[in-house]
């Protein structure tokens, strides 16, 4: 067998799937670049608890299929590995690339600066909202084709759910390294993430229907709604 010259840590460091190595006390010993990004949406303790819950009974590895999400990060499986009593690792596998197979109908769509459209909706919401609202956005987002009225209705419906929350934080950015496939064409994903203290979830189904009709993927948990919008141009 030929000797291996490559340092495998290089491949782990730039793997798109998060990899985290803990010591026996739950302290992070190593994490790759993808895991560093994940750390903004969950705590090391939360991940360590999951790691221990799905660890194999003996030295080796154990792969588990499960739905796992932290903010706008979503995974379909994990692999927990250890070969000694001092360290244990978890590898999280990103949910597969999103596909929308319906033909695109752009009737009523127009090329739009989505930041300007969104900020107009924020100003309307602020007229009735008494809490703290924080917006973090990338002002270099590309213009995209979107149905402005439908998008505004979607945003208003989301805000309606959150109007009683004392604080709302909104993050807008392009998802690096991921695309949405619409009708066999690849488009960058613009991610909208709405984070609040509490929200009324009775309209989740309505939000999902509006989003789906406009080629937008919507994801929910108790205090977060995220939208993945294809940057059609």
CATH number at residue 80: 3.30.450.20
For 68-81, the pLDDT digits (tens) are 888 667 888 999 99
In a domain, 167, yes or no: yes
Same domain for 136 and 90? no
Same domain for 109 and 224? yes
Same domain for 14 and 112? no
Same domain for 158 and 77? no
User: Does the structure show a pLDDT above 60 at 218?
Assistant: yes
In a domain, 22, yes or no: yes
Same domain for 185 and 110? yes
Same domain for 76 and 140? no
**Rounded to whole angstroms, how far apart are CA atoms 140 and 121?**
19
For 173-185, the pLDDT digits (tens) are 887 667 777 777 7
User: Does the structure show a pLDDT above 70 at 30?
Assistant: yes
CATH number where 197 lies = 3.30.565.10
User: Does the structure show a pLDDT above 60 at 101?
Assistant: no
Picking from 79, 94, 109, the residue at the C-terminal end of a domain is 94
How many independent structural domains does the chain possess? 2
In a domain, 4, yes or no: no
The arithmetic mean of pLDDT across residues 210-224, rounded, is 86
Which residues, 6 or more positions from 90, have their beta carbon under 8 angstroms from its beta carbon?
Answer: 19, 20, 22, 47, 50, 51, 54, 78, 79, 80, 81
Same domain for 113 and 203? yes
Query: pLDDT above 70 covers what percent of the chain?
Result: 92
What pLDDT, on a 0 to 100 scale, did the predictor assign at position 106?
A: 82
In a domain, 2, yes or no: no
pTM of the model: 0.64
Q: Which domain holds residue 78?
A: 9-94
In a domain, 1, yes or no: no
**Rounded to whole angstroms, how far apart are CA atoms 116 and 170?**
15
Same domain for 104 and 217? yes
In a domain, 3, yes or no: no
What pLDDT, on a 0 to 100 scale, did the predictor assign at position 189?
A: 87
Same domain for 81 and 136? no
The arithmetic mean of pLDDT across residues 151-177, rounded, is 92
What pLDDT, on a 0 to 100 scale, did the predictor assign at position 96?
A: 67
Which residue is it, tokens 């939360």?
46
Question: Residue 57 burial by CB count (10 A; 0-12/13-18/19+): exposed, middle or buried?
Answer: exposed
In a domain, 219, yes or no: yes
Average pLDDT of every residue of the chain: 88
Same domain for 155 and 193? yes
What pLDDT, on a 0 to 100 scale, did the predictor assign at position 4?
A: 67
User: Does the structure show a pLDDT above 70 at 43?
Assistant: yes
In a domain, 86, yes or no: yes
Same domain for 126 and 89? no
Least confident of 144-148, 181-185, 203-207, 225-229: 181-185
Which residue is it, tokens 């208003």?
156
User: Does the structure show a pLDDT above 60 at 1?
Assistant: no
What pLDDT, on a 0 to 100 scale, did the predictor assign at position 58?
A: 94
Same domain for 105 and 85? no
């Amino acid at each position: 067998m030929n000797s291996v010259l490559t340092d495998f840590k290089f491949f782990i460091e730039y793997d798109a799937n998060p990899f985290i190595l803990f010591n026996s006390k739950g302290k992070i010993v190593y994490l790759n670049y993808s895991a560093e990004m994940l750390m903004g949406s969950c705590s090391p303790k939360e991940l360590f608890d999951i790691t221990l819950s799905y660890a194999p009974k003996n030295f080796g590895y154990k792969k588990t299929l499960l739905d796992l999400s932290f903010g706008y990060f979503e995974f379909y499986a994990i692999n927990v590995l250890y070969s000694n009593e001092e360290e244990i690792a978890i590898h999280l596998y990103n949910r597969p690339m999103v596909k929308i197979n319906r033909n695109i109908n752009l009737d009523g769509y127009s090329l739009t600066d989505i930041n300007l459209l969104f900020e107009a909706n924020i100003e309307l919401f602020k007229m009735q909202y008494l809490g703290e609202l924080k917006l973090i956005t990338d002002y270099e987002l590309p213009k995209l084709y979107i149905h402005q009225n439908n998008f505004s209705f979607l945003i208003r419906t989301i805000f309606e759910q959150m109007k009683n929350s004392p604080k709302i934080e909104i993050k807008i950015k392009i998802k690096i390294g991921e695309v949405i496939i619409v009708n066999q064409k690849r488009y960058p994903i613009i991610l909208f993430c709405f984070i609040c203290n509490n929200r009324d979830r009775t309209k989740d189904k309505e939000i999902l229907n509006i989003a789906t009709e406009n080629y937008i993927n919507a994801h929910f948990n108790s205090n977060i709604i995220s939208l993945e919008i294809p940057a059609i141009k």
